[in-house]
């Protein structure tokens, strides 16, 4: 099976994030909330795999140029900002939106607010990106 029309930039971004995930795993003992540090590590691993998979199937998506750019941006944003947000939550000990991983920790209100705003933005952006991919995988109309 030959893979055509892959998006090398998404695949490269995925492997870069995978490398950051490995480094995050090594840094877990240095985080204030080590359980959240493991969450950051796993978030980055899964996001990296998602970027690599998206890069490999990119040629199958039927998208207009603007939709393609927005979809690529959505996945890159959610992958990297999701990892960064988890790292911030682990370093600061926030727990507002992560009651299981953050149990027993609390941070100043502004830190909780920053992490909460970033987490909500990641959820909304990746949801939009996922909907865009589902739409892009529709069966193209025959001409």
Q: What percent of the chain has pLDDT over 70?
A: 95
Please count the helices (runs of H) and the strands (runs of E) in the chain: 4, 0
Is the model's pLDDT at 111 over the cut of 80? yes
The CA R_g of the chain, rounded to the nearest whole Å, is 17
Query: What stretches of the chain adopt beta strand conformation (E)?
Result: none
* All structural domains of the chain with their residue ranges: 8-136
Residue listed under structure tokens 């991919």: 133
Is the model's pLDDT at 9 over the cut of 80? yes
**Span between the terminal Cα atoms of the chain, in Å:** 26
Task: Kindly report the pTM of this predicted structure.
Answer: 0.91
Can you read off the two tokens belonging to residue 76? 């890159």
d(CA 50, CA 55): 8
At 143, the pLDDT band (50, 70, 90 cuts) reads very low
Q: Of 136, 129, 9, 42, which is closest to residue 78 (Cα–Cα)?
A: 129
Is the model's pLDDT at 58 over the cut of 60? yes
d(CA 82, CA 111): 16
């Amino acid at each position: 099976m030959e893979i055509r029309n892959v998006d090398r930039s998404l695949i490269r971004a995925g492997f870069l994030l995978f490398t950051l995930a490995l480094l995050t795993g090594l840094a877990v003992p240095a985080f204030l909330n080590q359980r959240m540090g493991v969450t950051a590590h796993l978030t980055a691993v899964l996001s990296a795999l998602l970027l690599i998979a998206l890069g490999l199937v990119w040629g199958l998506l039927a998208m207009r140029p603007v939709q393609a750019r927005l979809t690529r941006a959505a996945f890159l944003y959610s992958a990297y900002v999701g990892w960064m947000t988890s790292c911030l939550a682990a370093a600061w000990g926030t727990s507002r939106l992560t009651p299981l991983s953050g149990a027993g920790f609390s941070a100043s209100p502004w830190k909780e607010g920053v992490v909460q705003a970033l987490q909500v933005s990641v959820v909304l952006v990746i949801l939009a990106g996922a909907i865009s991919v589902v739409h892009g995988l529709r069966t193209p109309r025959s001409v």
